[in-house]
Structure 1
Amino acid sequence: MKGIQQFRKNKQGFLLVDAMIGVLVVAIGLAALAALYTYGIGVMVSAARQEKAVQIASEKIELLKAADGHSEADIKLIAEHINSKENNKILLDNIEYSIRAAVGASLYDTNRNYPGDDTIYPVKVTITWSDPRPQVLTLQTYIHTNE
Structure 2
Amino acid sequence: MNGIKQFRKNKQGFLLVDAMIGVLVVAIGLAALAALYTYGIGVMVSADRQEKAVQIAAEKIELLKAADGHSSSDIREIVEYINKEGNNTVTQDGIEYQISAEGGAASLGNSYPGDEMLYPVRVEVKWNDPKLQVMELQTYIKVKE
Contact 2:109–2:118 (CA under 8 A) maintained in structure 1:
no
Distance 1:30 1:140 in 2: 45
Task: Report the residue type matching 1:42 in the other structure.
Answer: G
Specify the alignment match of 1:111 in structure 2: none
> If the length of structure 2 is used for normalisation, what is the TM-score?
0.90
- The residue identity in structure 1 corresponding to 2:26 is V
The 5-angstrom pairing of residues 1-147 of structure 1 reads 3-105=3-105, 117=111, 119-147=117-145
In 1, Cα distance between equivalents of 2:121 and 2:2:
91
SS of structure 1 residue aligned to 2:12: coil
Deviates more, 1:115-124 or 1:133-142: 115-124
Instruction: State the aligned residue count.
Output: 141
User: How many Å apart are 1:11 and its aligned residue?
Assistant: 1.2
Post-superposition shift, 1:25? 0.9
Change in 2 beyond 3 A, CA 1:77/1:137: same
Q: CA RMSD in A?
A: 1.9
Q: 1:52-80: CA deviations, max 9, x gaps?
A: 00000000000000001110001111111
State the alpha-carbon separation in 2 of the partners of residues 132 and 116 from structure 1: 44
Deviation at 1:120, TM superposition (A): 0.4
Percent of aligned positions that are identical:
70
Distance in 1 of aligned mates of 2:8 and 2:109: 88
- Any stretches of 5+ residues in structure 2 without a counterpart? none
| Structure 1 residues 115 and 25, CA gap change in structure 2 (3 angstroms) | farther
| Matched residue type, 1:136 | V
The answer to whether the 8 A contact 2:99-2:123 is kept is yes
Would the alpha carbon gap of residues 76 and 115 (structure 1) be closer, same or farther in structure 2, given more than 3 Å must change?
closer
The amino acid across from 1:66 in the alignment is: A
TM-score (norm 1): 0.88
Cα distance in 2 for partners of 1:59, 1:31 equals 43
